[in-house]
């Protein structure tokens, strides 16, 4: 029997009944719904984070100029149309990511800045990630406090990285030190989380109500179960109870937003596009859509995964990324690494472009959104976590002026930038992991 | 090469012989041994393992070897290191082989005696969530419904090599998905209301060669795909077929007329003719769109009844003299630049509907669920609701018993029936059942396997799990699914803990088709077959790799593993089998003549064939390679982890960074590259164990083809295992592994036990592993014996209460 996978190329993302709705996707999919009008009027601040694996080739990455930029480096050149929205930061580090499982920790420490506990089991310990700090403070009013996306659907088996559980490699976002948020890579499932199963607003309301009554019953059942158990197991049930209550809260918010803003009947994407680039772009489209409809204000996106052996023949790199990244200063491999870096940046630029084109309030979505692009590895050849590739994209509503290369003289904790990004989106904490202050240089006014 | 194997290799060969004696003579050994064994420890071990240095966090000071039972963890660690030939490390002096062997057999005998006297079964997690595979199988067995779980639930993270380990977590996102899945599954199973039209698009992998007949489609056809689809409702559906296009948007291989056939359940719905585009203008723009819309007519609209059907789309095979005579260098045909398609291929099949829904027919799910119908009365509304509730209670009771995997209580039923009533009020009897089923599928009693400590057990004490819990342990181990009614009935009657009954159940369950999950779920994770889907060999270097080969590789290894189960064979046959399973595609890849057609058949391998056993399987050789080349490191690591059970230790925490300023070194042969790789003593500590094992497989290239040279240079496939003598090539590797049957059998046992328990193993499990392996040794290490041994073991039958 031939088993086929469900997937659909991007060009036929939207399948009407018998007809294919032409791209651009966003125009076709976004109804003129009141939710957007309301969100636009408020113009809330949003935070996005895009992860690229395995560091960079620093020479073509680093802009020659410091301070005010008039041009970008080779690897960053796809962002040139948005030069004034781009801040390049160099010489940041995540010291805690130096472990024996450097790929796992590059990913897991990027947004937590702490050393993950080494374990292959599920007794992992990391820390609450910076996106979740933001979600706690600015995500409360939206149906989804945060959205965690990726592209690697592939379920690798075996030990993920030298004694580190796969959760470290797969999850950037950690709701608590022991709860990694699962990453979703199937566009259809993302769509359904954002927009449900479709149908009329009344039908959707009825479904939500049913889910709520099931959850009430699950809560009762778990509470009575708890009485039969010992202390440790009771704590476990406490966690489950918290989970179920959180889902209930999300459903209540979804009920409210469904009642106020009937979305038209939308057709779902079918599944994962065959070409990786199409998949990435579709995931970016969904991010723009989710932010525009104010369904969430915090997004993390793992564009590719650490230690990935993906090849990029479409840009002339037939060799797998991971061995290429161990370049031993071989000029050929360095050149390939630079190509991959530039390619990843170009896909990020695709989204920045969409954000810049999408109206939001009195400006564009880019004006009200701050996106971080970066990797938890600096020099991948030696697995270090210093001088990370870091770019911030932000717009007029941000405290970050853009059009600048901030180069720290000394290695500076990435956590400092995390604090500044939190400030920028209206979430404030005093200290984050190994932070030694805020990344003040990033927000200094530009001088001519 | 290193001498550690002098303990493990020559020494342990002797040790093994003696161990047979030692294990049957515990008492003797423990009476006479301690003094000389203590001397061995004092002389060779305590220099590092003392209270002051605590090397490896282990000290033998104050640990009395005469009283092994007092420090079982310490001695289990010691035994493991000694058996693996890792201690004492080079260049420390080592005892001679006989002394080591005596120490090991003394310790093992004493440890086994201690474990027998005071069993420590370990503690499985109290909560184990059904993972993706288990959920899919549970729905299949509960509701007679096949679902594609990958569209419903997120991927499970693996721990200790298996995705059924560490499944206790439940994030809000995951809970939302279970809720959404409950809604979808209950709708599809019951179908109380006509759904809005939906769509599914099945995509054929772009690298599937479709030049010949494919299994699952009728003879006389070529290429295409057969899609299993559960139709939600009776009504009209549109089936639409699209063909593969190249990057210029032209239909590939369309140089002459072809006939496309769309089928439903093997019956022809319609045949379409595809003509090559007459638009031959090769102007810049025109050439890109010459074939625009050329396959738009490949649509049928057809009435289909609810339930599972197979939609096929294929080509009618032609006897083209041209194709037969054109000699092609490759078997793969999908790559426009290197081996283009000779004939068109199917790209996708989409199914959209239902339109004009008419009702819902008999489906396997509805037959399973609706064991009764409410008596139709003309009485008052409340009376008819009561009649409906009576029938619903009986339906729900039977579903809940199976879903909760235990006898149901009145309380269980009351709650579910109240969901029925609420659904009934909204939409009648079937809507009520659908609502109750939806709640059932979201219940923690369904989603979690819960093991509760009995009331009368002291904290931290071992106890026997209940028969009902044992039934679930058994069915999830052997079937990755729910117990069936027979197993549940025996367990509920308290008979399952009876040894003879249990063994009969294991034999029965292994003979059931559901036991295939041991192959598709257990073996495919153990041996990393799942990673094949992720393999994308570089098309420039390996233009002959296509999806047909990827599927073939996986099938070959699955069939070999399954043959061990079906034919009661030794687990060692995995390494040595003088037979394998191939179809034409795989046979051609291996250079095996006279195999025709896409179906798999068993073939006998000639004496000395490099293809004997797993080590010659394309699946294993490919998943342990990079896209562009072989990797002795990955292959060596795979052998150490999955065959020897001694994964290379992770680098020490203070591993120095490679020198960033190191000059550019170009290495030539793989062997030289590996040697450069091992120049750093810190790296060498592990790589000298991994690399030589992998290098012995260098005669197989990155997609498992046999080769004598690599880029013109002859291959030197000398290799070794940790501590062994050097050997030549894969034959030598196989022989060295087979010379130590207990090592591989122990690894197989450990993997089975991790999977069966859903937890990593602790030193306290070592006695159970030894007991299973030793007892299976008497039966030639037959796989079913190992499985039975796991089921009969202490950690499987017992549990330690919470301390």
Nearest by CB to A329, from B438, B662, B759: name it.
Answer: B662
Whether A236 sits inside 8 A of B655 (CB atoms) is no
Give the long-range contacts of residues A204-213, CB within 8 A, separation 24 or more: A204/A258, A205/A255, A205/A258, A205/A259, A207/B183, A208/A251, A208/A254, A208/A255, A208/A258, A209/A255, A210/B183, A210/B435, A210/B438, A211/A251, A211/B179, A211/B183, A212/A248, A212/A251, A212/A252, A212/A255, A213/B419, A213/B422
A residues 127-146 lying closer than 8 A (beta carbon) to B: none
Helix (H, G, I), strand (E, B) or coil at B800: strand
Nearest by CB to A6, from B202, B217, B438: name it.
Answer: B202
Cα of B723 to nearest chain A Cα, Å: 23
A316 and B CB contact within 8 Å: no
pLDDT per residue as tens digits for the range A262-278: 444 555 565 567 678 98
Residues of A in contact with B157 (CB under 8 A): 122, 165-167, 170
Split at pLDDT 50, 70, 90, the class of A8 is very low
pTM across the whole model: 0.80
pLDDT the model gives residue B335: 75
Q: Which two tokens stand for residue B611?
A: 């293809």
Distances (CA, A) of A402 to A69, A134, A354, B70, B506: 9, 21, 18, 67, 67
A27 and B CB contact within 8 Å: no
Split at pLDDT 50, 70, 90, the class of A259 is low
A335 and B CB contact within 8 Å: no
Nearest Cα residue in chain B from A214: B439
Whether B203 sits inside 8 A of A199 (CB atoms) is no
Three-state secondary structure readout of B237-260:
EEEEEEECECCCCCECCCCCCEEE
Tell whether the model's pLDDT for residue A257 goes beyond 70.
Answer: no
Whether A271 sits inside 8 A of B453 (CB atoms) is no
Comparing B56 with A340, the larger pLDDT belongs to A340
Separation CA B100–CA B80 (nearest Å): 12
Q: Nearest-CA neighbor of B790 among B763, B771, B762?
A: B771
Separation CA A329–CA A57 (nearest Å): 10
Q: Which two tokens stand for residue B403?
A: 């879903």
A43 and B CB contact within 8 Å: no
pLDDT the model gives residue B586: 96
Separation CA B45–CA A206 (nearest Å): 70
Separation CA A192–CA A190 (nearest Å): 5
Cα of B18 to nearest chain A Cα, Å: 35
Nearest Cα residue in chain A from B555: A1
Sign of CA dihedral B22, B23, B27, B33: positive
**R_g (Cα) of chain A, nearest Å:** 22
Whether A218 sits inside 8 A of B215 (CB atoms) is no
The angle that helices B783-792 and B499-511 make with each other, rounded to 10 degrees, is 140
pLDDT the model gives residue B652: 54
Most A-contacting residue of B136, B156, B179, B524 (CB-CB within 10 A), to test interface: B179
A193 and B CB contact within 8 Å: yes
Nearest by CB to B226, from A1, A181, A329: name it.
Answer: A1
Nearest Cα residue in chain A from B225: A2
Most B-contacting residue of A125, A158, A169 (CB-CB within 10 A), to test interface: A158
Cα of B738 to nearest chain A Cα, Å: 24
Nearest Cα residue in chain A from B528: A157
Whether B802 sits inside 8 A of A211 (CB atoms) is no
Distances (CA, A) of B770 to A293, B111, B541, B568: 60, 10, 46, 21
Whether B173 sits inside 8 A of A162 (CB atoms) is no
Residue A436, burial from CB neighbour count under 10 angstroms (0-12, 13-18, 19+): exposed
Range with the poorest average pLDDT among A164-168, A236-240, B600-604: A164-168
Nearest Cα residue in chain B from A218: B443
pLDDT the model gives residue A289: 84
Separation CA A41–CA A335 (nearest Å): 47
pLDDT the model gives residue A141: 78
Residue B62, burial from CB neighbour count under 10 angstroms (0-12, 13-18, 19+): exposed
Whether A311 sits inside 8 A of B536 (CB atoms) is yes
pLDDT the model gives residue B788: 97
Nearest by CB to A318, from B197, B531, B628: name it.
Answer: B628
Question: Where do we find the tokens 């809940």?
Answer: B400
ipTM for the complex shown: 0.84
Residues of B in contact with A222 (CB under 8 A): 444
Separation CA B370–CA B394 (nearest Å): 10
Nearest by CB to B197, from A2, A17, A323: name it.
Answer: A17
Residues B690 and B648 sit within 8 Å (Cβ to Cβ): yes
Whether A320 sits inside 8 A of B163 (CB atoms) is no
Cα of B776 to nearest chain A Cα, Å: 26
Helix and strand tally (H, E) in chain A?
Answer: 14, 15
Pairing of strands A46-51, A298-302: parallel
Residues of A in contact with B158 (CB under 8 A): 155-158, 160, 166
Residue A154, burial from CB neighbour count under 10 angstroms (0-12, 13-18, 19+): middle
Tell whether the model's pLDDT for residue A189 goes beyond 90.
Answer: no
pLDDT per residue as tens digits for the range A66-114: 999 999 999 999 999 999 999 999 999 999 999 988 999 999 999 999 9
Neighbours of B235 (CB within 10 A): 21
Residues of A in contact with B439 (CB under 8 A): 214, 217
Split at pLDDT 50, 70, 90, the class of A122 is low
Residues of B in contact with A148 (CB under 8 A): 173
Comparing A293 with B37, the larger pLDDT belongs to B37
Separation CA B368–CA B364 (nearest Å): 6
pLDDT < 70 regions, chain B: 1-33, 247-249, 279-290, 292, 320-329, 336-337, 376-383, 649-668, 677
pLDDT the model gives residue B568: 96
Nearest Cα residue in chain A from B200: A270
Whether B179 sits inside 8 A of A7 (CB atoms) is no
């Amino acid at each position: 029997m031939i088993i086929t996978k469900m997937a659909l190329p991007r060009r036929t993302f939207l399948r009407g009944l018998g007809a294919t709705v032409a791209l651009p996707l966003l125009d076709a999919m976004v109804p003129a719904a009141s939710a957007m009008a309301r969100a636009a009027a408020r113009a809330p601040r949003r935070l996005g984070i895009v992860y690229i694996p395995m560091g960079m080739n620093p020479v073509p990455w680093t802009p020659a100029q410091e301070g005010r930029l008039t041009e970008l480096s080779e690897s960053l050149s796809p962002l040139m149309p948005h030069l004034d929205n781009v801040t390049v930061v160099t010489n940041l580090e995540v010291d805690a990511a130096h472990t024996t499982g450097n790929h796992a920790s590059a990913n897991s420490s990027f947004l937590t800045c702490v050393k993950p506990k080494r374990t292959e089991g599920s007794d992992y310990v990391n820390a609450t990630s910076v996106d979740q700090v933001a979600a706690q403070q600015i995500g409360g009013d939206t149906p989804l406090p945060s959205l965690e996306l990726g592209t690697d659907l592939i379920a690798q088996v075996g030990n993920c990285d030298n004694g580190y559980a796969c959760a470290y490699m797969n999850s950037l976002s950690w709701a608590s030190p022991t709860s990694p948020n699962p990453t979703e890579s199937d566009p259809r499932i993302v769509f359904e989380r954002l927009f449900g199963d479709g149908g009329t607003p009344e039908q959707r309301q009825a479904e939500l109500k049913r889910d709520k009554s099931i959850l009430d019953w699950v809560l009762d059942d778990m509470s009575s179960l708890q009485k039969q158990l010992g202390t440790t197991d009771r704590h476990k049930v406490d966690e489950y109870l918290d989970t179920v209550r959180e889902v209930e809260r999300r459903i209540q918010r979804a009920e409210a937003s469904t009642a106020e803003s009937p979305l038209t009947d939308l057709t779902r994407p079918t599944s994962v596009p065959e070409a990786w680039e199409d998949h990435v772009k579709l995931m970016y489209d969904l991010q723009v859509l989710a932010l525009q409809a104010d369904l969430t204000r915090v997004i993390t996106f793992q564009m590719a995964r650490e230690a990935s052996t993906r090849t990029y023949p479409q840009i002339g790199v037939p060799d797998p990324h991971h061995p290429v990244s161990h370049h031993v200063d071989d000029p050929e491999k360095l050149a390939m690494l630079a190509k991959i870096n530039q390619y990843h940046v170009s896909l990020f630029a695709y989204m920045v472009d969409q954000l810049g084109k999408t109206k939001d309030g009195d400006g564009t979505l880019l004006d009200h959104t701050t996106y971080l692009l970066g990797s938890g590895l600096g020099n991948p050849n030696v697995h270090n976590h210093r001088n990370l590739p870091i770019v911030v994209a932000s717009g007029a509503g941000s405290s970050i002026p853009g059009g600048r290369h901030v180069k720290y003289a000394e290695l500076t904790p990435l956590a400092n930038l995390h604090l500044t990004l939190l400030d920028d989106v209206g979430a404030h904490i005093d200290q984050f992991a190994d932070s030694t202050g805020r990344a003040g240089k990033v927000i200094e006014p530009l001088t001519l | 090469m290193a001498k550690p194997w002098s303990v493990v290799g020559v020494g342990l060969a002797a040790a093994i012989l003696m161990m047979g004696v030692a294990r049957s003579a515990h008492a003797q050994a423990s009476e006479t041994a301690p003094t000389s064994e203590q001397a061995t420890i004092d002389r060779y071990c305590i220099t590092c393992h003392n209270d002051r240095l605590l090397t490896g966090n282990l000290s033998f000071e104050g640990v009395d070897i005469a009283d092994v039972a007092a420090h079982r963890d310490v001695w289990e660690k010691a035994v493991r290191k000694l058996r693996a030939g890792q201690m004492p490390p080079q260049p420390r002096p080592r005892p001679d082989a006989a002394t080591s062997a005596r120490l090991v057999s003394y310790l093992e005998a004493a440890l086994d005696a201690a474990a027998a006297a005071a069993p420590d079964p370990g503690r499985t997690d109290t909560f184990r969530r059904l993972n993706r595979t288990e959920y899919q199988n549970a729905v299949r067995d509960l509701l007679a419904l096949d679902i594609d779980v990958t569209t419903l639930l997120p991927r499970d993270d693996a721990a200790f090599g298996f995705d059924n380990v560490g499944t206790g977590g439940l994030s809000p996102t995951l809970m939302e998905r279970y809720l959404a899945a409950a809604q979808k599954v209950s709708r599809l199973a019951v179908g109380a209301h006509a759904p809005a039209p939906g769509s599914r698009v099945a995509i054929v992998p772009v690298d599937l060669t479709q030049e010949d007949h494919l299994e699952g489609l009728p003879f006389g056809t070529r290429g295409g795909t057969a899609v299993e689809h559960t139709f939600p409702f009776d009504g009209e559906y549109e089936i639409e077929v699209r063909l593969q296009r190249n990057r210029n948007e032209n239909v590939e291989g369309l140089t002459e007329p072809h006939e496309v056939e769309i089928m439903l359940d093997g019956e022809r719905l319609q045949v379409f003719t595809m003509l090559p585009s007459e638009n031959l203008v090769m102007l810049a723009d025109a050439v890109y769109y010459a074939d625009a819309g050329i396959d738009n007519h490949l649509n049928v609209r057809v009435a289909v009844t609810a339930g599972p059907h197979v939609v096929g789309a294929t080509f009618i095979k032609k006897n083209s003299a041209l194709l037969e005579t054109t000699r092609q260098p490759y078997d793969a045909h999908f790559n426009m630049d290197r081996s283009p398609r000779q004939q068109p291929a199917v790209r996708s099949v989409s199914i959209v509907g239902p339109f004009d829904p008419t009702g819902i027919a008999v489906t396997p799910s509805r037959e399973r669920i609706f064991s009764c119908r409410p008596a139709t009365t003309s009485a008052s509304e409340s009376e008819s609701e009561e009649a409906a509730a009576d029938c619903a209670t009986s339906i729900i009771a039977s579903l809940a018993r199976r879903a909760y995997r235990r006898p149901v209580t009145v309380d269980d039923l009351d709650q579910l029936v109240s969901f029925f009533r609420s659904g009934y009020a909204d939409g009648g009897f079937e809507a009520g059942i659908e609502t109750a089923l939806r709640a059932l599928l979201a219940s923690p009693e369904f989603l979690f396997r819960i093991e509760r400590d009995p009331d009368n057990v002291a904290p931290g004490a071992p106890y026997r799990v209940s028969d009902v819990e044992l039934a679930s342990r058994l069915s999830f181990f052997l079937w990755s699914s729910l117990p069936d009614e027979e197993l549940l009935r025996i367990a509920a009657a308290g008979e399952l803990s009876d040894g003879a009954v249990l063994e009969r159940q294991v034999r029965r369950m292994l003979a059931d088709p559901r036991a295939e999950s041991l192959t598709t779920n257990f073996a495919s994770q153990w041996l990393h077959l799942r990673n094949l889907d992720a393999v994308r060999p570089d098309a420039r270097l390996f233009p002959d790799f296509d999806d047909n080969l990827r599927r073939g590789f996986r099938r070959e290894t699955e069939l070999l593993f399954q043959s061990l189960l079906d034919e009661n064979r030794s687990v060692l046959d995995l390494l040595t089998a003088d037979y394998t399973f191939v179809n034409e595609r795989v046979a051609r890849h291996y250079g095996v003549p006279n195999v025709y057609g896409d179906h798999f058949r068993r073939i006998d391998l000639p004496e000395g064939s490099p293809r004997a056993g797993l080590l010659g399987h394309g699946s294993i050789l490919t998943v342990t390679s990079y896209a562009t080349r072989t990797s002795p490191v990955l292959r060596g690591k795979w052998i150490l982890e999955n065959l020897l059970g001694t994964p290379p230790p992770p680098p020490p925490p203070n591993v120095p960074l490679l020198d960033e300023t190191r000059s550019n070194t170009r290495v030539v042969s793989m062997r030289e590259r590996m040697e450069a790789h091992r120049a750093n003593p810190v790296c060498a500590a592990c790589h000298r164990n991994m690399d030589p094992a992998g290098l012995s497989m260098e005669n197989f290239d990155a997609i498992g083809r046999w080769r004598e040279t690599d880029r013109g240079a002859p291959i030197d496939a000398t290799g070794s295992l940790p501590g062994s003598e050097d050997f030549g090539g894969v034959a030598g590797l196989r022989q060295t592994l087979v010379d130590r049957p207990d090592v591989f059998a122990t690894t197989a046992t450990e993997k089975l036990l991790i999977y069966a328990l859903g937890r990593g193993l602790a030193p306290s499990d070592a006695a159970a592993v030894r007991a299973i392996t030793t007892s299976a040794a008497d039966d030639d290490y037959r796989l079913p014996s190992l499985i039975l041994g796991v089921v009969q073991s202490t950690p499987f039958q017992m549990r330690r209460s919470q301390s």
